[in-house]
Amino acid sequence: MDTGKVRFGYFNFAILGDESHWAAEAAECAGDQDAYWEFHDYLFSHQNGENQGAFSKDNLKGFAAEMGLDTKVFNECLDSGKYTQFVQDQANFAQQLGVQSTPTFIINGRGIIGAQPFDTFKQVIDSFLNQ
């Protein structure tokens, strides 16, 4: 990625309930303040069970505050449901595409299902780089 050969995208596939949706929406809200990836990483490092309050809206707002985001803008974004439809649309799109579980990766159209070892990714990536 650092050498400009690979780029990485994250696609919200919120399927595990309300907190999945809120977390995805919150990340998009953080993205409005150019802090998408920071928030993204923060979420993954603060996972704590499913739908047990770890990603309640209050907690998500707390994360934004800890990261020094503009909380007023962030909270309004989250509360108003600015990205609710967007996140839902993404999940629907992924489902239509046939994505059934997380994580699923698509590398230039080639699917890798599950958290596969690095070598699996390397092989696929190299196969495209060497074309």
- How far apart are alpha carbons 50 and 19 in whole angstroms? 8
**Residues 34-73, mask of contacts with other proteins (x by CB under 8 A):** --xx--x--xx--x--xx--xx------------------
Query: Would you call 124 exposed, middle or buried from its count of C-beta atoms within 10 A (0-12, 13-18, 19+)?
Result: middle
Residue at 1: amino acid letter:
M
14 binds other proteins (CB under 8 A): yes
- Which of 93, 114, 116, 123 touches other proteins by CB under 8 A? 93
27 binds other proteins (CB under 8 A): yes
**Residues 99-118, mask of contacts with other proteins (x by CB under 8 A):** x--xxxxxxxxx--------
Cα dist. 91→5, 54, 88 in Å?
A: 28, 21, 5
> CA 53, 13, 22 angle in degrees (round to 5)?
30
6 binds other proteins (CB under 8 A): yes
Q: Which residues pair with 23 in a beta bridge?
A: none
Alpha helices in 49-106 (DSSP H): 57-66, 71-80, 84-97
78 binds other proteins (CB under 8 A): no
- Contact residues: other proteins, CB under 8 A: 1, 4-17, 19-20, 23-24, 27-28, 31, 36-37, 40, 43-44, 47, 50-51, 54-55, 89-90, 93-94, 97, 99, 102-110, 121, 125, 128-129
